[in-house]
Every structure is written in structure tokens, then in C-alpha cells.
Amino acid sequence: MLREMEQMGKVGFALAYFLVLLAVSIAISLIVFSWGFGGGELNAFILGIVIWLFWMKPTLPDFLVSVPEYTVLVTVNLLREDQLEDYRTGIHFRYPWEQVKVGNYINTRLEPMDREEDYPARDGPKMRVKWQVHFQIVNAVTFMKVGLETIETFLTGIGSGLLGATIYKKGSKRSKNQQQQIEVALTEKFANLKTIESYGVEVTKVVLVDIDYEDTVQKVLATQFVAKKVKEIGKDFREGQQEINPKDSLNAAMIIHGDYTKHINEVEGEGGNALAALLMGMAQGGGRKQGNEKKEGKK
């Protein structure tokens, strides 16, 4: 009710201004015709309307504001800088001293906040976590006063605090295998926050996208996996064909494994040394071209 009364007051102020402007325009036209131009009162009235419309065009935006869909406009009262007012989608009357800026048009659609952070586990490796918080602006005035950066810092701190403590407590392997449970705990944490009154936003959804080892740990695990497979394939060759020595079996194993770009002359040792040489070649990104160059050099 109070809001409707305020809007009626703005409408009344705008109409009063326009009527005064019309009266002044007609008065000016009457004075002009009284100086001997002739034409009668009708022509003076028409001229007054033209003058009024000419004055109306630049002054109308000072009294009317248009707000697009899914948007809220927050105006600043220049007479009282601490007074903010929001205007929802539609056309509204406003006072001329209510300041309108481009940055004060706030999008009320759901805003996803993406985060990607590393958290240490108690058993050593760091875990890379990707998570999201979806929030919607409910109170644009409060949101404008607090600011987006402050809100994102607050939400990030809440999520990071829970994720960091949980991952450290569970350890790397359990954290990776229990992502659904961690997401439930994260959702419950945000559900209990009072964000509307303090920040003007409502958290609608929390998503735990992924928990995995950080890049360096993933590379180590991948290398260990390849080494294990190479050993297994090489062992199968030696058991099936006794005349194949460890070096040749490992070469054959790597070809079956699909690594066609390794250095041709990397494997010079036997057994474990041969395996180490192969893995070094893989880590260094040995290519077919380099292998061919070595062969050409030997020729």
C-alpha cells in the first residue's frame, strides 16, 4: 500500500509539472499572437501545444523510466544519498532527482557462480574441486548496497570452508569416491544460510561438479598405470614365447599398447632398465621424427 501511494505521488507530481508546462506554453503563444501576428485564440492554442510537445520530449525521461524484463532498476535519491528505490519490469513514474545509471539495472535471472579450487587431503595429495552456487537476486536494494564482490566472497568462504574440512578429514580416495555425500552436505550448509536479509540474494542450488586429484598427481597415477600395463603385456610375451628377451618384449608391448611415437633407440637395457628407459621416452614426448633422425645418424 505504501509503495502504491508513493507511485501515485510521483504520477501526480509529473502530471502537475506537465500541466504547468502546457499552461506556460499556451501563455507564451498568446503573448506572441498579441504582438500583432493575428490568427485568433485557436491558432494560439495550437502553437501552445506545439511548444509544449517541443519541451516535453527532452524532459519526459526525467519523469518516466522503462525497465526491461528480468531486470530491476535501483535509483539513488540525490537529495538523500542513503535512500535507494527499486523499480521492477515495466514503465514507471519517478522523481527527476532520482538518479538512473546504466550500472543500476540489475539482472534478476539465476546467476551461477563457478569455483575451481585445490584442497589438501590428510594423506598428502591435493584434490581439485569444481563446484557451483546458483543464486537469484530477491532484494535489489540490499544487493546494491552490499555489492556483488562481497556476496561472492561470502558464498565462496562458506563453500570452501566445508569442502576443505571435509576433504582433509576423509582423505583423497574417500573424497573422490563419496562426491554425492559431500554434495548433500554442501547443499544443507547453504540451505541454512540467511542470505536474503543480509545480502538480498537467495541460494537456489548448489552443485558439486567434480572432485579429482590435481594435475601433477593425475600424471603420476597415469604413469604408474601405464607402467603396470606395460609390465603385464611384456610378461605375457615372455611366457608365450621364451625366445623373446625383456627388451624386445617391452618393445612389442609398447606397440600393442598403441605408443607408436616412442624413440626407437630408447630401450638399451634389459628388464627393469628397459622399462625405465621406455617410460623416460614417454615422459619426454619422444616422437617418430626423432627416432628416424637417430637411425639416419647411425647410417
* pTM confidence score: 0.61
What's the mean pLDDT in 104-123?
88
pLDDT of res. 251: 61
Give the tens place of pLDDT for each residue, 6-26.
778 888 888 898 888 888 888
pLDDT of res. 287: 42
What's the mean pLDDT in 278-298?
46
Give the tens place of pLDDT for each residue, 147-182.
899 999 999 999 999 999 999 999 888 998 999 999
Residues near 192 by beta carbon (within 8 Å), at least 6 away in sequence: none
273, pLDDT greater than 70: no
State the sign of the Cα–Cα–Cα–Cα dihedral 76, 79, 80, 86. negative
Give the HSE-up count for residue 145: Cα atoms under 13 Å, Cβ half-sphere.
16
Distance from C-alpha of 145 to C-alpha of 119, rounded to nearest angstrom: 32
Q: Lowest-confidence range among 8-22, 37-51, 132-146?
A: 37-51
Strand partners, 113: 133
69, pLDDT greater than 70: yes
pLDDT of res. 294: 42
pLDDT of res. 154: 94
Distance from C-alpha of 137 to C-alpha of 135, rounded to nearest angstrom: 7
pLDDT of res. 186: 93
Q: What is the mean pLDDT of the chain?
A: 77
Give the residue with greater pLDDT, 105 vs 236.
105
pLDDT of res. 288: 42
Instruction: Fold for 110-213, please state it.
Output: Tetrahydropterin Synthase; Chain A (3.30.479)
Q: Specify the residue for cell string 611415437.
A: 261
pLDDT of res. 283: 47
pLDDT of res. 199: 93
pLDDT of res. 217: 66
* φ, ψ at 285 (rounded to 5°): 70, 35
pLDDT of res. 263: 43
Give the HSE-up count for residue 1: Cα atoms under 13 Å, Cβ half-sphere.
0
pLDDT of res. 40: 63
pLDDT of res. 190: 93
